[in-house]
Amino acid sequence: MEYNRHMDFFQHQAKAKSRTFLLVILYCLGLLGLTAVIVAVTLLACLFANVEPNPEIMFICIGSILGIVITGTLCKTAQISTNGGRGVAESLGGRQVAASTDNLAERQLHNVVEEMALAAGVPVPTLYILDKERSINAFAAGFSPNAAVIGVNRGTVDLLSRDELQGVIAHEFSHILNGDMRMNMRLIGILFGLQQITLHGYYCLRFARFIAPGGVINLPIAFAAATLGLVLISIGYIGVFFSAVIQAGISRQREYLADASAVQFTRNPGGIIGALKKIGAPNIGSNVHHPRAAEATHLFFGNTCGLFSLGELLATHPDLTTRIKRIDARFDGRFPHIVDTRPKPKVYVHKSKTANFLKHQPLQQPTTASKQSVMEHIGELNIANVLTARALLDAIPQDISFASDNPLTAQAVFFALLLDADEEVRNRQYNQIQFAGSEFLMKESRRLYPQMRLLSECERIPLAQSVLATLREMTAPQYRKFSRVLELLISADPGTNLFEYTIKAMLHRDLDIHFGLAKQLCVRHTALSSVRLPVVAVLSYLAYAGRADQANSRGAYVSAMRELGLSGEMLLPTEVTAHRFDKSLRVLSETSPALKRRIFMACMTCVSHDGQITLREAGLIRAIAAMLAIPIPMLA
C-alpha cells in the first residue's frame, strides 16, 4: 500500500476542512431519519388508540426531539471547542504524563513522541495515559498541530516494544499532520447530539428503577417513566445508527491512510504490524471500557468495543487482518498468544535501540535546506530527521536536560536560552529575572548559562521546542509571570535578534494558545488581494535580510512577487521594521491552507533567489513557519 505523495500538507489541510460539509450533510440525514421515526411512532400510537392524528401534537413531538438533539450537539461542540484535546483526554480518564516522569515505560513514550515532533517541525504534543485501560490503543485529539494531544492506553506502554510503539505513534502523527484531528473533534459533538434521545431514555429507565421500590404509590410513576424510556430508546436508536454510520464512513478510510503513513514515516513495517498483531491476541485487544469511549471511538488507533457492527457498515476501524495484509500480504491471519504478566519495562538506551532500528532501512540523507526539499517535506516525517532529532537531544548537556523536565527549572532553561553574550547586558537580565521572577530562577539561569553557551543555534531550537512541552505543566498565572520575565529579557538589549523572534513566535503559536492568551488560528482570508500589503512587507523584509547589495534584494523580491502573480514596489529599508514584519505575519497566519502554501512558496523563492540559503535566512524561514503554524522539516 503506497502513501499518497501527490497530496502535500496544505492539500491535506484543505481537504480536511472540506470534509466538514460532508459531516453537515450526514448530520441532517440523521435528523431527517429521527423525524421520520417520530412521525411513524406517533401514527402507530394514534392507530393503536383509535384516535385521529393531531398535527399540533406531532409537531410538538418532532420539535422537542430535534431540540434535544440540536441542543446536545451545540453544547458538546462548545465544550469541545473550549477544552480542546486536553478535555477529550481527561474525559476518558487520562492522566497527563509529566516530562519528569521516572517510569521507564512512560519515559520511553515521551522520548518517541518528542523525537517525532521535533523531526516533523510541530510542537511536542501533550501526553496522556489511560491508566485503567490495560488493552493496546492510542488516539490523537486537538484542533491543530499546535495544540495536539496524544493519549495511549496503559497496555500500549506496557506491552509494546519501542519499534511497535514508534509505529503506533507514527500512525497518530499522520492524523495530526493530515488534518484529521479537527474533523474528528467536530464529529464528537455531532455524535453526542444524535445519541441524546437514547441517553435520555436510559435516564428514564434508571429513574424508574430508582423509585419503583418506594411503594404502591410510586409504581404508576415508575411504569410511566419506564414506558417513556423504552419509547425514547426506540426512537433514539435511529440517531445512534446514523452516528455509527457517520463514524464508520469517515474513520475507516483514514485508518488505512494513517497505517500507510506510519510505514512511510518509520521505514519499519514490522513496528505497526507487531502492534496490530498484539491487539489481535485473544487476551489483549484494543477495547476501552470508559463510559464515554463510544463517542470518541473514531479517534482511536484500534476499535474500542467488540459490538456487532453489521459487517463493515458500522465498523469504525477496518478488520485487523485486512489492515495487516495491506502492509504485509503474506500474513496468514494467525495472531500470537501473549501472556499478560506486565513485567517491569527495560531501561531505554538510545544507542542500542537506534542500532536495532536502523537494520530495517538504509539511513537516508537529512533534508537539505533548499526550496524544493523544504516544500516537498512540509508536514512529513522521515527516519533521517527522527534520528537527527534524537542526536540533537542527546547532545544537550545533562544538567540542562534534567532541568528541562521540571516546569519550574524549565523556566530557567528558557531564560538561559535568551541570555546575552555581552556581560553588561547579561547582568541586567539577571537582575530582571530576580526582580520579576525569583532569586531561585536567577541562580538557576546563571548556573545553566555556561553550558548553554556550548550549544549552537541549531541545537537550541529543538531544546526550546522540548522545553515548551514541559512549560505546559505550569498554571496560567505562572505562565503570565513567565511571559513578563521573557519580554524583559528580550528588551534588555536594543532590538530583537532573529533567534529571540523565533522563540517568541514559537511561544505565540503554542503556549499563548494553550493558556488561553491567544485564540486558535482560524481562516479569515482566502483571496490574495486581501493580504497584499502584509505580503509585500514580509517579502521586503526577507529580500533585505542577508543581502548587502540592494540590487540583489530587489531581484529576490521581484522573483517572489512573480511567484504570486503580483507586481509592485518593495518597501524602503526604513519602512521594513521588525514590528511591521511581525504584524504582517500575524495577518498571514489567518489565511486558508491553499493561500498559505502560495505565500510560503514565495518566501522560499525570495530567500533562495541567489541559489543558497544562509543561516540567517534559514532562521527567518523557521520563524515564518512558526508564526504560520507550518511544520517544516529540520533544515540541515
Q: How far is CA 544 from CA 401, 561, 563, 611, 624, in A?
A: 37, 14, 18, 16, 15
- Read off the C-alpha cell for 594: 491553499
User: Can you name the residues that pair with 128 across neighbouring β-strands?
Assistant: 96, 151
Distance (Å, whole) CA 168 – CA 419: 39
Distance from C-alpha of 138 to C-alpha of 109, rounded to nearest angstrom = 12
Residue 382: CB partners within 8 Å, gap ≥ 6?
119, 264, 265, 267, 364, 367, 633
Side-chain half-sphere exposure of 521, counting CA atoms within 13 A: 23
Written as one string, the DSSP assignment of 397-451 is -HHHHHHTTSTTHHHHHHHHHT--SSHHHHHHHHHHHHHHT-HHHHHHHHHHHHH
C-alpha cell at 72: 446536545
Name the DSSP letter for residue 111.
H
Element (H, E) at 40: helix 9-49
| Cell digits of residue 181 | 484531528
Cell numbers placing 618 = 534559514
Burial of 291 (0-12, 13-18, 19+ CB in 10 A): exposed
Give the list of residues 6+ apart from residue 77 with CB closer than 8 angstroms, or none: 186, 189, 190
Polymer length in residues for the chain: 636
| CA distances for 635 relative to 262, 374, 384, 461, 599, angstroms | 22, 8, 12, 11, 19
| Residue whose C-alpha is closest to residue 121's, from 497, 547, 600 | 600
Write down the catalytic residue from 106, 114, 133, 172: 172
CB of 419 closer than 8 Å to CB of 445: yes
Amino acid letter, 65 = I
Residue 8, C-alpha cell as written in the block = 502535500
H runs (alpha helix) in 510-635 = 511-514, 532-544, 550-564, 578-588, 593-607, 615-628
- Closest listed residue to residue 30, CA positions, set 231, 235, 229: 235
- Which residues are registered as beta bridge partners of 140? 150
Measured CA to CA, the distance from residue 488 to residue 504 in angstroms comes to 12
Q: Is 114 a catalytic residue?
A: no
- For residues 628 and 145, the answer to whether their CB atoms sit within 8 Å is no
Instruction: Cite the active site residues.
Output: 172
